[in-house]
Amino acid sequence: MASVTSWLPPALAGVTFTLLGSIKLYGYIRGIEGGAGRPALKRLCGT
């Protein structure tokens, strides 16, 4: 069995990037515009 240190960092990175990609896709579908001067949530979801 593989140790935790061999699979946990890639798993966390994969989950993080998948989550951020999903949030960006949600914002794209909803038409949320991001950019400078916007609240943090709109910058995160915005295209």
Which residue has tokens 């794209």? 28
Q: Write down the mean pLDDT value for the chain.
A: 91
To 10 degrees, the CA torsion angle through 13, 23, 21, 10?
10
Q: pLDDT at residue 10 above 80?
A: yes
What predicted TM-score, i.e. pTM, was given to this entire model?
A: 0.77
Predicted local confidence at residue 36, as pLDDT: 85
How far is Cα 11 from Cα 46, in angstroms, rounded to an integer? 26
